[in-house]
Amino acid sequence: MPAKTGKEYIERVDQAQANVWIDGEQVKGKISEHPAFKGVMKTQAELYDMQHDPKKKDFMTYESPTTGDRVGTSFIQPRTKEDLEMRRKMMQEWARHNNGMMGRSPDYINVGMMAYGSASEMFGKQDPFYAQNMSKYYEYCRENDLSLTHTLIQPQVNRGVNAAQLPDPYIAARIKEKTSEGVVIKGARLLATQGGITDEIMVFPSTLLKQAEEENPYAYAFSIPNNTPGLKFICRESFDYGKSNFDHPLGSRFEEMDTIVVFDDVVVPWDRVFALGDVGVCNQAYNESNAVVHMTHQVVSKNVAKTEFILGLVQLMIETINIGQYQHVQEKASEIIIALETVKSYVAAAEANAKVDKWGIMTPDFTPLNIARNYYPKIYPRFSEIMQLLGASGLMAIPNEADFNSELRPDLDKYLQSATGNAYDRVKLYRLAWDVCMSAFGTRQTLYERFFFGDPVRMASALYNGYDKQEYVDRVKEFLDRSEELVQK
C-alpha cells in the first residue's frame, strides 16, 4: 500500500487489536472509538488524508524509487537540498494542522527509519544479515506507509546503577534467549508516546547504555507489530476527557497518550532484528546513521509551526483585552517573536549548509539543529509563563460550553465580552490559551518539550563536549601573549 488515507490508517490500527490498557481495563473493540483515543486518531487520519489532497500531494508524497507509486515524503532519502526543503514543507504542513502539539506525528520516526535504512551497512558490523534486515524494513515502512511508536528508555527505578544491577535483571527489557524463531525479550521500556495507536513499535537502543559487558543483554534494535503476542501498552490517564472542541480545544484533538511498554517473553522474529547484544554497535547507531540529525530536522521544523501558533494566540489574547499598548506586554510578545525567528533561522542554516553524508544522503548541518534542541526546552516553558502573565484571571474566567447553553448566557454575554468581540469568542480563545499553558494537556506539552529528546542536562553536556572550542581558546591565548610581549619591551 503506497501513501495511505486516514481511513486506511484507522482500519489497520483497529484491526490489529493491540494489547492496550487504560484505567485498569484492556481496550476491547475498535480503539479508534475509545474515548481516550478517538480524538487523536481522527486527527492522525486527517494528516494521512492530506497526502491525497490534490493541492498538496505533489509535496506530501513522492515517487517510490522501487515501485513508482506515490509514497509519503517523510520517507524520502534526500539527495539534494531541494529534497530536504520539500520534506520540511511536508512536515510543517502536518505540524501546522496540529499546531505542533503532536510531537510524535508519524514523520518523526519516518525520517529516523530513513536514516537507519540508508545507513543499513552500519548494522552489518555484527552480521551482514542485520544490514539486510534494516534496509528491507525501511523499504517495508515506506511502501506500506507504516506508523510507528518507539521506545528508547529503561524504567526509572534507580538511575545510579546499570540495568543489570537492579533488583531484578528483567525490570529493563532484556534479551532472555535466542530461539530458532527469534529473540525473546522480557521486561519493560518507557515511554512510547502514541503507543497502541500506530502499526508498529521501534525498539531501538538508548544512547545511554554503559560500555560494560553486563549491559550487552540490554543492547538491541528491532521493530515489531504492536499486536505481537506478549507486548502490552500501559497508558497513563487520558487528557482527552471527552469534552467538546470548545471546552478542551487541544486535548480533544491532539492527546497523543504516553505508554509504558511491557514485553512478556515477546518473540522478535529474526528478520526484524537489526542489532543484538552489542553495546558498542547500539550506542553508535543514532549518531553514525545521522538519524539524530534527520529527527532533529523534523523536531525543529515542527517547533517553527508550534511557535507560530503560540505567537498568533498570544497576539489574539493581547488584542482581545486591549493590552498591546503596555511596554512589558510588547516585550513579552517580542520574546516569542525572537524565539520564532531564531528557530526559523536554525532550520534555514541547517538546510543551507547541508551536505551529502557517507551514506549518500543530503544531511542538514547538525550544529544549528543541535543548538535548537538545546534552546527549545528552555524557551517553551517561558511561553507558558508569558501566557499566564498576560492571561491572568482570563485563564480562569472560562465557563464551558454547557454554561453558554444554559440560562447563564445573558450573564456571560454581559460580563465576559471583550474589547474586540462577544463573550463566546473570548472564552473560546481563553480556553485555548488555558489548554496550552494550564490544563493537564498543556502542562504535559511543557514536560514534553523539556524531555522528549532526552535529558536536557546530558544534551547540553553532549553539546559542550562535542563543540570545537579550540579556535576561540587559541585566540584568547594569542591575545594574552600579545600583552606580555608589550610588558617585556
Ligand X SMILES: Cc1cc2nc3c(=O)[nH]c(=O)nc-3n(C[C@H](O)[C@H](O)[C@H](O)COP(=O)(O)OP(=O)(O)OC[C@H]3O[C@@H](n4cnc5c(N)ncnc54)[C@H](O)[C@@H]3O)c2cc1C
193 is in an annotated binding site: yes
* Structural contact between residues 93 and 50, judged by C-beta atoms closer than 8 angstroms: yes
Query: Residues 308 to 347: which contact ligand X by CB under 6 A?
Result: none
User: How many C-alpha atoms does 160 have within 13 Å on its Cβ side?
Assistant: 1
State yes or no: residue 455 binds ligand X (CB under 6 A). Answer: yes
C-beta closer to ligand X: residue 93 or 255: 255
Minimum CB–partner distance for residue 113 and ligand X (Å): 14
Minimum CB–partner distance for residue 192 and ligand X (Å): 5
104 is in an annotated binding site: yes
In sequence order, the β-bridge partners of residue 223 are 202
Minimum CB–partner distance for residue 261 and ligand X (Å): 9
**CA 173, CA 186: separation in Å to the nearest integer?**
5
C-beta closer to ligand X: residue 104 or 426: 104
Minimum CB–partner distance for residue 452 and ligand X (Å): 5
Minimum CB–partner distance for residue 372 and ligand X (Å): 17
C-beta closer to ligand X: residue 277 or 454: 454
Choices 48-56, 87-95, 185-193, 285-293 (CB under 6 A): range interacting with ligand X: 185-193
Minimum CB–partner distance for residue 265 and ligand X (Å): 21
C-beta closer to ligand X: residue 10 or 197: 197
Minimum CB–partner distance for residue 233 and ligand X (Å): 12
**CA 32, CA 37: separation in Å to the nearest integer?**
6
Question: Phi then psi for 127, rounded to 5 degrees?
Answer: -165, 130
Query: Residues 136 to 175: which contact ligand X by CB under 6 A?
Result: 150-153, 156, 159
Minimum CB–partner distance for residue 151 and ligand X (Å): 5
C-beta closer to ligand X: residue 191 or 293: 191
Rg of the chain over Cα atoms, rounded to whole angstroms, equals 24
C-beta closer to ligand X: residue 89 or 444: 444
* Structural contact between residues 232 and 187, judged by C-beta atoms closer than 8 angstroms: no
Using alpha carbons, select from 97, 116, 115, 114 the residue that is nearest to residue 105.
97
State yes or no: residue 451 binds ligand X (CB under 6 A). Answer: yes
Query: Residues 255 to 294: which contact ligand X by CB under 6 A?
Result: 258
Count of residues touching ligand X (by CB under 6 A): 21
* Structural contact between residues 193 and 163, judged by C-beta atoms closer than 8 angstroms: no
State yes or no: residue 447 binds ligand X (CB under 6 A). Answer: yes
Cα 437 to Cα 206, 285, 386, 441: the distances in Å are 30, 36, 9, 8
State yes or no: residue 215 binds ligand X (CB under 6 A). Answer: no
State yes or no: residue 440 binds ligand X (CB under 6 A). Answer: no
**CA 101, CA 103: separation in Å to the nearest integer?**
6
Residue 81 identity (one-letter amino acid): K
393 is in an annotated binding site: no
159 is in an annotated binding site: yes
426 is in an annotated binding site: no
Full DSSP string of 240-290: --S--TTTSTTHHHH---EEEEEEEEEEEEGGGEEEES-HHHHHHHHHHTT
State yes or no: residue 381 binds ligand X (CB under 6 A). Answer: no
User: How many C-alpha atoms does 334 have within 13 Å on its Cβ side?
Assistant: 7
Provide the 3-class DSSP secondary structure of residue 26: strand
Cell reading at 146: 507504516
Query: Annotated binding residues for FAD, as ranges?
Result: 150-152, 156-159, 193, 455-458
Annotated binding site for substrate: 104-108, 150, 206-207
Chain residues binding ligand X by CB under 6 A are 104, 150-153, 156, 159, 190-193, 258, 444, 447-448, 451-452, 454-455, 457-458
